[in-house]
């Protein structure tokens, strides 16, 4: 009896240490956005493309470009539709580990980096030695940026140890892909981040020169509900009017 009681207390104590993942930020629809980072490639399989910034004063105003366009790189195998952004005709979708960047429309919700602070209106998370983005599909923390020492007992076997990724994660913006809700296996850890160089694609993120990302991060304003709009140029033109894209 005493042994059973001790075992029960041990299990309860372990359970009390496990913290549930924080819920994602409230999703605000793109129709209410006043800022957009538009990324396009020529073809689905291309690994490089262009980015443009757009802004509008209010929901009834026309979108206007902000500054000059700039070069970007995407996933090593190109782009694939996100399931929650895809048109009905889509048949191929982004999956975990496929090396593709998601095509669709996604909120940009917080910035991260290795500096003490940055010039940005976005909420900022400094990367520590224990900061990881979980890509283990069996984890309760899948597609979350977490502090290993802050989540209690961790349940993942695979993650990106963000402090070790330099210079790419010296500065970044979290793309809320596969976040409302998180679907296991649909892909994780999608960011805007610094590229290695203009000819090296990513594993699924969208990367750019440091000076361009600094401009983007300094421009983004959470009060304007910023979004990433990302897809091949032909699809962008095809859905621009019906989706009210910039």
Identify whether 21 is part of a domain: no
Identify whether 134 is part of a domain: yes
Identify whether 110 is part of a domain: yes
Helix (H, G, I), strand (E, B) or coil at 51: strand
Mean pLDDT of 212-226: 98
Mean pLDDT of 160-176: 97
Q: From start to end of the chain, where are the E strands?
A: 35-41, 48-55, 64-65, 70-73, 79-81, 101-113, 124-126, 131-134, 145-147, 159-161, 171-175, 191-194, 206-208, 227-232
CA-CA distance, 19 to 16, in Å (whole number)? Answer: 8
Lowest mean pLDDT among 8-12, 67-71, 163-167, 227-231: 8-12
Whether 30 shows a pLDDT value over 70: the answer reads yes
Whether 8 shows a pLDDT value over 50: the answer reads no
Mean pLDDT of 168-172: 98
- Tell me the percentage of the chain whose pLDDT exceeds 70: 89
Identify whether 17 is part of a domain: no
Domain that holds residue 143: 38-239
Domain count, the chain: 1
Greatest distance between any 2 Cα atoms in the chain: 73
Identify whether 94 is part of a domain: yes
Please spell the DSSP secondary structure of 99-136, one letter per residue.
--EEEEEEEEEEEEESSS--S-SS-EEE--TTEEEE--
Output the pLDDT for position 20. Answer: 38
CA-CA distance, 220 to 215, in Å (whole number)? Answer: 9
Does residue 186 contact residue 202 with C-beta atoms inside 8 Å?
A: no
* b/e sequence 10-23, b meaning 16+ C-beta within 10 Å: eeeeeeeeeeeeee
Identify whether 27 is part of a domain: no
In tens, the pLDDT along 55-114 reads 999 999 999 999 999 999 999 999 999 998 898 889 999 999 999 999 999 999 999 999
Identify whether 25 is part of a domain: no
Identify whether 18 is part of a domain: no
Instruction: Please report which helix (H) or strand (E) contains residue 16, including its range.
Output: helix 2-17
In tens, the pLDDT along 32-68 reads 999 999 999 999 999 999 999 999 999 999 999 999 9
Residue 159: phi and psi, rounded to 5, are -165, 165
């Amino acid at each position: 009896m005493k042994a059973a009681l001790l075992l029960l207390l041990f299990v309860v104590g372990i359970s009390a240490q496990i913290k549930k993942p924080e819920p994602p930020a409230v999703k605000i629809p793109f129709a209410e956005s006043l800022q957009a980072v538009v990324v396009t490639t020529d073809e689905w399989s291309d690994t490089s493309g262009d980015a443009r910034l757009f802004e509008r004063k209010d929901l009834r105003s026309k979108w206007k470009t902000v500054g000059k366009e700039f070069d970007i790189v995407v996933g090593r195998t190109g782009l694939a539709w996100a399931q929650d952004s895809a048109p009905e005709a889509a048949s191929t979708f982004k999956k975990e580990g496929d090396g593709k960047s998601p095509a669709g429309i996604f909120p940009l919700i917080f910035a991260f980096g290795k500096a003490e602070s940055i010039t940005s209106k976005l909420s900022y998370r400094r990367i520590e030695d224990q900061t990881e983005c979980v890509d283990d599909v069996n984890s309760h923390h899948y597609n979350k940026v977490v502090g290993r020492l802050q989540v209690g007992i961790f349940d993942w076997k695979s993650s990106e140890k963000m402090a070790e990724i330099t210079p790419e994660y010296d500065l970044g913006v979290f793309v809320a892909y596969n976040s409302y809700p998180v679907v296991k296996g649909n892909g994780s850890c999608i960011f805007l981040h610094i590229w290695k160089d203009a000819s090296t694609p990513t594993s699924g993120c969208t990367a750019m020169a440091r000076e361009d990302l600094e401009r983007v991060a300094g421009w983004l304003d959470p009060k304007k509900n910023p979004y990433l709009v990302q897809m091949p140029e032909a699809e962008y033109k095809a859905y621009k009017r019906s989706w009210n894209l910039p």
